[in-house]
Amino acid sequence: FAGGCESEQNQAHSLELFSPICPETKSSGTPMKSDKGLEEDTGSQALFNFEDKLLPSAVHIESYSSGMLCSQQNGFHKSPIKRSWTFPKLKEDKLTHSRALSEVLPPFKKIKLVSDAGDPTAAMDQRNVSTLKGIKKTSLIKNCDSKSQKYNCLVLVLSPCHVKEISIKSGPNSGSKVPLGIIVVTDQSRIQKKVSLWRAAAFWALTVFPGDIILLTDVTIHENHWIGETVLQSTFTSQLLNLGSYSSVQSEEFSNIVNDAVLRDLLAYVSSKHSYLRDLPQRQPQKMNSIEFVDLEQLQPDILVHAVLKVVDITVLTEALYSYRGQKQRKVMLTVEQVQGQHYVLVLWGPGAAWYPQLQRKKDYIWEFKYLFVQHNDILESLELHSTFWSSCECLFDDDIRAITFKAKFRKSMPSFVKMSDLATYLEEKRSEVILIKAQISELVIPVPAAQKIALCARSSLKSIFSSLPDIIYTGCAKCGLELETDKNKIYKQCYGCLPFTMKKLYYRPAVMTVADGIHEVCIHVGSKLMEKILFNISPDWLNRVIAPPSEVTFRAVAADLLHSLLAGGGAPCVLKLHSLFVLDENSCPLQLEFSLLDLYPNSGE
């Protein structure tokens, strides 16, 4: 979530926000066991998901029959006086997950859902976390004027804002960042006021919508000197009770929590002065046990979905950094499809980025993803899938019924029949089409601006191939792949055709492959993606990484060995899928002949 209300200075947006008082440990990247509440089928190749650990500053969301209570567990801030507020005559709903999770929590937030009343751990949490008890004395916004006093306010939400990170400029936590959520509220005193929700409370902003009636407890007055206004702000003991949309709130339901007359006055004021909020579309809450598998063509924004997808491509954006568990992390974007040629974007955030090595090794496989959030990209004007804290992914076997069903529905854009041919016959037929040929790779030429070209063949030593690998990669636009030039300060210029998209990515340079079938030879254009596939999907930015510590073998050494084996004389021929283009004159003599590599199957037998 980026953007939102402007407040403070020097902010950096991210999807995982933590209090500096409770620093997080580094993520190990190891796949974790699934939560109790999420049933998973573990019968396939790989299953990865996240463990729902309670953080020291976790958010508690408790679903009740007449409202939703948001509170905090502050392990680092324990008051000597424990409050014990309870909802009189309101029983906790027996829901597996709070409706807050399914309604509004786009992913990426560390949330503790207190829902199992029979769980002794949950019961202990509920005793430690403040819950409401008795009728709360509320104050109108206009009467909140003392900085030394805490207030309870019954208000209407006018506009919630996205969560952001704020850099602390002074004090013992200087240099660290804390989450901040801001909502704009009003009441019958006709004054609009911003409410700053700090740290764990910041994520409450994700559970409220315009038109909701909420009860905020233990808020204080704060004068913001930067923008010259007075705001309400949360404290460590603050809570938020969402009574629901004002059009559906019945004052008698909450007469044992707030003053009935005060609530009726607020509802009357809202109906007369903010009646437009009644026309907002009704929210349709989701339940975790009813989330469905979807077709990408039928995506709807702001919902959780499951999907079976084919991973077509993986991009790691080197400049799209965000903060996760106190560390800088790169943005990982998957290109996925259910119909050939109809590509969608799946963004992996936070712990989901740990899936990258497994996905990279099994690119072009079929995967099942669960608990993805559908979000509208305002820049690209398209819908995207985003991983959430509850997401899981599973690589499916070919004989898995889910994979079989997917393949049966997968509509291929090219003809299902592609004939096998030899070069002699094909060159004689002179037809533009897609074919399969079996041939020996004799040379690979990579044009390089500085060295003009790098030619690799059977005579090339493993050492020379290894040393040439850094020269066959380039930095290009992450969207279109265009190679980016640098200015005199060695700063990459922007790709003007793709603005406002400015991300960069490393690519392998396209090559010209010479293949031979007996006495016949042809030159074939090999694109950047096919070069990566020839190298077993080793990404260019992985070349200098070691495969697995403490081993000193790098992916660069593996890539060099693959190329050396592919070009070695006497090796087994490869099956190549080619697209050809013949341009003939009036006498059927070739004026132009071009071959492009579509796929390669090395060491293929008969």
pLDDT band at 419 (very low <50, low <70, confident <90, very high): low
Q: 195-209, 271-285, 344-358: which has the highest mean pLDDT?
A: 344-358
Measured distance CA(596)–CA(591) in Å, rounded: 17
User: Tokens 């495969």 belong to which residue?
Assistant: 547
Tell whether the model's pLDDT for residue 591 goes beyond 80: no
Angle at 539 between CA 536 and CA 541, to 5 degrees: 150
Tokens of residue 490, six digits:
């060695």
Backbone angles phi, psi at 469, to 5 degrees: -60, -40
Q: Delineate the domains of the chain, giving CATH numbers in brackets.
A: 1-16+51-284 (2.40.50.140), 291-409 (2.40.50.140), 420-471+508-601 (2.40.50)
Mean pLDDT of the chain: 75
What is the percent of the chain with per-residue pLDDT over 70, rounded to a whole number?
73
pLDDT band at 66 (very low <50, low <70, confident <90, very high): low
CA 17 to centroid of chain Cα atoms: 15
User: Tokens 């040379």 belong to which residue?
Assistant: 443
Burial annotation 57-92 (CB, 10 A radius, 16+ → b, else e): bbbbbbbbebbbbbbbbbeebeeeeeeebebeebeb
**pLDDT tens per residue, range 280-337:** 777 776 777 888 999 988 888 888 899 999 998 898 887 767 767 767 788 899 999 9
- At residue 434, the pLDDT reads 82
Torsion sign across C-alpha atoms 573, 577, 581, 586: positive
Among 437, 414, 434, 438, which residue's Cα sits nearest to residue 579?
A: 434
User: Tokens 């029979």 belong to which residue?
Assistant: 118
Measured distance CA(134)–CA(257) in Å, rounded: 6
What is the percent of the chain with per-residue pLDDT over 90, rounded to a whole number?
22
Pick from 67-81, 164-178, 378-392: least confident: 67-81
Count CA atoms within 13 Å of residue 87 on its CB side. 18
User: Tokens 């006018």 belong to which residue?
Assistant: 158
pLDDT band at 347 (very low <50, low <70, confident <90, very high): very high
pLDDT band at 43 (very low <50, low <70, confident <90, very high): very low
Number of neighbouring beta carbons within 10 Å of residue 450: 5
Measured distance CA(403)–CA(366) in Å, rounded: 7
Measured distance CA(81)–CA(599) in Å, rounded: 69
Tokens of residue 421, six digits:
């041919």
Tokens of residue 396, six digits:
């499916």
Tell whether the model's pLDDT for residue 487 goes beyond 50: yes
3-state secondary structure 115-158: CCCCCHHHHHHHHHCCCCCCCECCCCHHHCCCCCCCEEEEEEEE
Backbone angles phi, psi at 122, to 5 degrees: -65, -40
Mean pLDDT of 265-280: 88
pLDDT band at 606 (very low <50, low <70, confident <90, very high): very low
Tell me the three state secondary structure of residue 199: helix
pLDDT band at 113 (very low <50, low <70, confident <90, very high): very low
Q: Quick check: 241 and 132 in contact, CB under 8 A?
A: yes
Pick from 20-24, 130-134, 341-345, 452-456: least confident: 20-24
Which helix (H) or strand (E) is 463 found in, with range? Answer: helix 462-468
